[in-house]
Amino acid sequence: MSYDYDKVEVPEDGHAIEVIDEDNDELDIPENPIIPIIHGDGIGKDVGPAAQKVLSAAAEATGHDIAWMRVYAGESGREKYDENLPEDTVNAIDEFRVAIKGPLTTPVGAGFRSLNVALRQTLDFYANVRPTYYLDGVPSPMKAPEEMDMVTFRENTEDVYAGIEWEEGTDEVEQVREFVEDEMGFDEVMHDGPIGIGIKPITEKGSKRLVRKAIDYALEHDRDKVTLVHKGNIMKFTEGQFSEWGMEVAEEEYPDDEVFAAPDSLWETQEDIDIPEGAVMVEERLADAMLQWMQLRTDEFDIMAMPNLNGDYLSDAAGAQIGGLGIAPGANFGDARVLAEPVHGSAPKRAGQDQANPTALMLSGCLMFDYMGWKDAGDLVKDAVEETISSGTVTYDLERNLDDAEKVSTTEFAEAVIENIEKLS
């Protein structure tokens, strides 16, 4: 595969990442890979360059090099191409397999479709992966935030985020209403007056590949448990089916001594289940109950896999426990491809002020490095960021909740992290 690019340049000093085995996520990573980067909208113009410098420093300190390929989307895409998601950008992420992006703005209720969702669906990044762990020195509302160390695997292409919906007042929504009422017999829920209708598709393929990705991650990272989170007691044929298909993956695709499926775990405590020693347990929990269990029994959960909307809510709630989305990393996994991105939004009112916290994008880079097999570089970034924050050198969002902290700009925070990378390496 090789694309011709219209308005971006492919770095001459870098090499493309090659696919060895797509089904098993095997990539051939050169020492100087070409990695596309989108700085992003709003505060992306601040945190994007800052994170890029930190990731370059960590790569260099661990014997690697990155040939960055600047690509554009959102505001920068409109400025350069007069479109939100240029073909150059999609093709670059597709061709070079590993990429990172800052936040992109999505209007609420109107305007263009989410560019984040468009990228995930267009390139089949079907697993949104969000690690949640505590960094020493970050202010948190919890008594023991250090107990939080979990990874959310959120299905990325289905559920309500598939975007299959019809607007009130249109001919299409009335056709759907008529079909649901007259043909399917659900007239008791179709109230008179204006209505908006959406469809919540959950498929066997989408469910199984998401759960498979979560189990494989648990095995590769020495994690003990995968929890399937759903609302299957109410939505039996969508979220309930997600759970059933997920359990089938655990039961049928892995040896019993490697992965142990606990299908009755919804109504049992962990102590009631006899788990083979060393095996990853796959259990299930209801989504509403998980919102309290994450706070009351934080240390009991490890890897969570769930449909899209549940994953959106629960990962944000988990992020709040460790200090907020300003430090929450994320990435989108496909088959032998990754697009790293922070969980937070673009915060337009802070754009261009050199104030925003770049930690989430830096830590998203750690997740990208881990996917590439550069764990040493990822660990170095995480350690350097933690050292910087714990020493009291922080951006405004953390400083306002800390005593005796030094408030620094986005650029100054990145420089402090790079200094700690040099000290720690």
Which residue ranges are tagged as binding site for D-threo-isocitrate? 114, 116, 120, 130, 154
The catalytic residue among 45, 101, 225, 231 is 231
Known binding positions for NADP(+): 105, 357, 396, 400
Known binding positions: 105, 114, 116, 120, 130, 154, 312, 357, 396, 400
The catalytic residue among 41, 216, 312, 383 is 312
| 72 annotated active-site | no
Q: What is the rounded distance in angstroms from the CA atom of residue 124 to the CA atom of residue 206?
A: 11
Backbone angles phi, psi at 356, to 5 degrees: -70, 155
The catalytic residue among 81, 134, 161, 254 is 161
Q: What is the rounded distance in angstroms from the CA atom of residue 134 to the CA atom of residue 323?
A: 8
Q: What is the rounded distance in angstroms from the CA atom of residue 140 to the CA atom of residue 143?
A: 8
Query: In this structure, are strands 67-70 and 34-38 parallel, antiparallel, or unpaired?
Result: parallel
| 312 annotated active-site | yes
* Angle between helices 359-372 and 44-61 in degrees, nearest 10: 40
| 225 annotated active-site | no
| 231 annotated active-site | yes
How many CB atoms lie under 10 A from the CB of residue 161?
A: 22
Closest C-alpha to 117, from 166, 71, 159: 159
Burial class (CB in 10 A: 0-12, 13-18, 19+), 193: exposed
Backbone angles phi, psi at 340, to 5 degrees: -80, 145
Q: What is the rounded distance in angstroms from the CA atom of residue 198 to the CA atom of residue 393?
A: 46
Segment holding 78, helix H or strand E: helix 75-81
Residues near 418 by beta carbon (within 8 Å), at least 6 away in sequence: 53, 54, 57, 384
Segment holding 225, helix H or strand E: strand 225-230
Helix boundaries (H) for 156-298: 171-178, 204-220, 239-252, 287-296
Q: What residues act catalytically?
A: 161, 231, 288, 312
